[in-house]
Amino acid sequence: MDLIEAMRSQPANRYYKPDPVPTEVFHRAMDNARFGPQGGNRQPVRFLIVTDPAKKAQLAEWYWIPWSAYYEQAIAAGEAMQAESGDVMATKAVMTKASMVAANDFAENFANHPAIIVACADLAETHPTDTDLGRLSIVGGGSVYPIVQNLCLALRNEGVATTFTTLLCLFEPQVKELLGIPEELATAAHIVAGYPAKPFPTKLTRHPVEEIAFLDSFDNPLTI
């Protein structure tokens, strides 16, 4: 499919068909995703595709712990916003609540999703240059997440939907033990993958270019 179409119609998918994704589909997607940029061409990323029902059930149990706490707080905040705001903000609150309900259904059915891909990284093969800046280091992810996004786009090209999540990284020691992940690898993300139960959207909601891109100075939005 067209690259731009794929980029603009790749949501966090919440509902999946039970059909398994064939091994050859994953292989083609991985074959294309591996060309993503990475520092020094060190190629630190590894993927583990989990389809075993018992292992997915355990991952789902761990996923539910942080998700359920976040969900309860988010719903309460959304209801308060809807009660106190005007019509426009109330509509926004309703939309937010609807998306949160869908995300909660996704979490409740986590064990039933066709595949959960664990994206791992050999941190010794990344080269973060921001470790001494007195803030959270993020540069090392530049050798990891472009390839992960490539995989999501490659799967979209195959008609496979995905959802990117990092909640299970809270349980990295347990996940590594459950799945036999080598000690030198860190878990960077988990990608749920499967055929979507609903059609892919034709339009996603994002901030306009003028709010996220600037020319020479942050007081000069990029416009045409």
The CATH number that domain 3-51+114-212 falls under is 3.40.109.10
Distance CA 181, CA 186 (A): 9
Q: Report the length, in residues, of the chain.
A: 224
Q: What are phi and psi of 113, to 5 degrees?
A: -65, 145
Q: What is the pLDDT of residue 95?
A: 53
Give whole-number Cα distances, 38 to 124, 140, 171, in Å. Answer: 13, 9, 26
E runs forming strands in 147-184: 161-165
Q: State how far Cα 73 lies from the chain centre.
A: 21
Short-list 42, 67, 212, 66, CA closest to 127: 42
Q: What is the pLDDT of residue 75?
A: 74
Q: What is the pLDDT along the chain (224 residues), one digit of tens a residue?
A: 899 999 999 999 999 999 999 999 999 999 999 999 888 888 999 999 999 999 999 999 999 999 999 988 887 776 666 666 655 555 555 457 778 889 999 999 999 999 999 999 999 999 899 999 999 999 999 999 999 999 999 999 999 999 999 999 999 999 999 999 999 999 999 999 999 999 999 888 899 999 999 999 999 999 99
Task: Break the chain into its structural domains and give their ranges.
Answer: 3-51+114-212
pTM given for the model: 0.90
Distance CA 150, CA 3 (A): 11
Q: Report strand pairing: 161-165 vs 45-50.
A: unpaired
Q: What is the pLDDT of residue 82?
A: 66
Sign of CA dihedral 106, 109, 110, 113: negative
Q: What are phi and psi of 21, to 5 degrees?
A: -90, 125
Short-list 168, 191, 19, 15, CA closest to 105: 15
Written as six digits, the tokens of 38 are 């990475």
Where is 103: in which H helix or E strand? helix 87-108
Short-list 12, 2, 3, 4, CA closest to 200: 12
Q: What are phi and psi of 215, to 5 degrees?
A: -115, 110
Residue whose entry in the numeric block shows the structure tokens 């292992």: 55
Distance CA 161, CA 117 (A): 12
